[in-house]
Structure 1
């Protein structure tokens, strides 16, 4: 079924097309994103309640596409209406304003871009956080710096640097590091060779073990 638009007003063409498609202005507004009050103005035949002409021409083009009516017929009927009623003008150049749908797409793209950047920041943050729980621990032993050393003092100050989130034990005794990862411990030596085991373990990662041999040789007192 087609609509004969010859000698019909804009209101008649619009309302007949709505009825033919079994639609109302509210449903058409949802389909076209045109405000309901503008569609109601078309339905009531009062162009004075419509926006500036460039907007109306854009709206009529969308309405024609959705209602499957001849676009030229709608535009011609509108031209006849504005000869009878003073209508709003958007300015001396009377140009069609920026497409609202394009603006929506730009805003949507901007939101998606910001969201993606936020997700990336979160992932980077989590990667740094998990790096403290996964992977291989490290330790730098400052004292004794070398292995197989001989000392004359029975107490030696063990020192080094680890990741502050890792767990350090020296000969199975836990040693707490400072916030910068530095640690120190006074260690009592027995006469002869002493095996000092440094064990560092990451929470969900691996562990490393370094053993230093320190020989305690008391000074000989001669008379």
Structure 2
């Protein structure tokens, strides 16, 4: 193992001499500090930086010396116990000021869910209006009756407030309600208004046509 480390160092020293350089001149030409070069030449591998940095420096040194950078790097890695203990998966230190990576798919999914929830919240009264108020009398939008007195009957969900032609109606605990009205001859319009505490107001209109029954005298 020691022999292999010297073998790397001897390759480096011979290349430096072949180019007629010193470690100081090589440091100036390659941009690699002379302290790093001395650690390589003197086999002080424990004082070297992380593996990615070492590889980058060796490639620069090899370019100046006319050597194959990858081959020099491979020679450095041969049976190097120090590198094995340090781990071959070393990475460059992360910038602590860098923003974390954002998963765009999760962001878009979150926006979609929020938009859908908002849509359903705003439209829910319209979806449920058929169940919120149910009229048993009158059932049809237009009804013809022959009597003056008429009873409005129905059921409403307990979360809704109800009024008929502006008059508040109070259903029983089951939501059932009745209201007796006196009809005028002809068309009578009844507007049922119902809304939640924080919801949109909704209306349902019914018309009752009152046509008095004409009594015919029998001879």
TM-score, normalised by the number of residues in structure 1? 0.39
* Rg comparison, structure with higher value: 2
